[in-house]
Amino acid sequence: MNVPIDDSALDQIFREARTYNGYTDQPVSEQQLHAIWDLMKMGPTSANQLPARLIWCVSDEAKERLATQCADGNDDKVRSAPVSVIIGMDENFHEQLPDLFPHADAKSWFEGDLEKRKESAMRNSSLQGAYFIIAARALGLDTGPMSGFDADGVDSAFFGDTPHVTANFISTLGYGDRDSLFDRSPRPAFERFNSIA
C-alpha cells in the first residue's frame, strides 16, 4: 500500500514551490528535459490521449522567436530563462489512439467531430501542462507558466508545418532565482471554494 510522501517532498512540490520570473545561471541539460517528460507522460489523460506536443526552446534563436510573440514583461522572461517551453495541443490526437489506447477503438469516438477533439485536447493538454510543472518541481527545477502571448503568432512561428497543433500555454524552466519572486498570493482555506455533498 502507498503511504503519503514526506513533508519535504510536499514542500518542494507544493508548499514552497513558486512561479518564477527569473532564474540562476545554472544550466538545464537535455537529459533533464527527457527526465521531465518521462515523469509527466505517466499522468492520466482521457483514453491515454496524450494530446500535448511540447517544444523545448533551448537555443537563443528559438527563445527569441518565442519572445517576439509574448506580452511585454513575459518576453524578457522567455529570453533569459535557461529553457522556455511551448505546451502545444494536437487536435488530431485521435490518430495515435490505436497505439496509445489499444483496449478499445477510441479513434472512432473522435473521428468527424473536431469540436469534441478540440475540447478534449484543451482539457488533457492542460492536465499535461500541470504534470509538467509538478514533474519539474519533483526533479528540483522551477517553472514560470504564462498565457500572455499572441497565440496565432506562436502557432505560425512554431506549428506552421503542423496546423493541427496549437499553443495552449508556455512556461519558462530552470533553477529559480528567489529575488525574482513576487509576494505569495493568498491561498484560501477549504471552506471558501469547497463543499462536501
State the Cα–Cα distance between residues 20 and 155, nearest whole angstrom.
24
| Residue among 45 and 143 whose Cβ is closer to ligand FMN | 143
| Residue among 44 and 148 whose Cβ is closer to ligand FMN | 148
| Residue among 13 and 100 whose Cβ is closer to ligand FMN | 13
Residue corresponding to grid cell 500555454: 169
Encoded amino acid at 88, one letter: G
The CB-nearest residue to ligand FMN is 148
Whether residue 10 contacts residue 16, with contact meaning beta carbons closer than 8 Å, is answered with no
Enumerate residues 6+ apart whose C-beta is below 8 A from 42.
131
Binding site residues, ligand FMN, CB under 6 A: 18-19, 74, 145-148, 169, 184-185
Cell numbers describing residue 145: 507558466
Cβ atoms within 10 Å, residue 133: 22
Nearest distance in Å: CB 77, ligand FMN: 7
Nearest distance in Å: CB 21, ligand FMN: 6
Nearest distance in Å: CB 105, ligand FMN: 33
Nearest distance in Å: CB 18, ligand FMN: 4
Whether residue 183 contacts residue 17, with contact meaning beta carbons closer than 8 Å, is answered with no
| Residue among 145 and 153 whose Cβ is closer to ligand FMN | 145
| Residue among 45 and 74 whose Cβ is closer to ligand FMN | 74
Sign of dihedral through CA atoms 4, 9, 10, 11? positive
Nearest distance in Å: CB 126, ligand FMN: 8
Cell numbers describing residue 193: 471554494
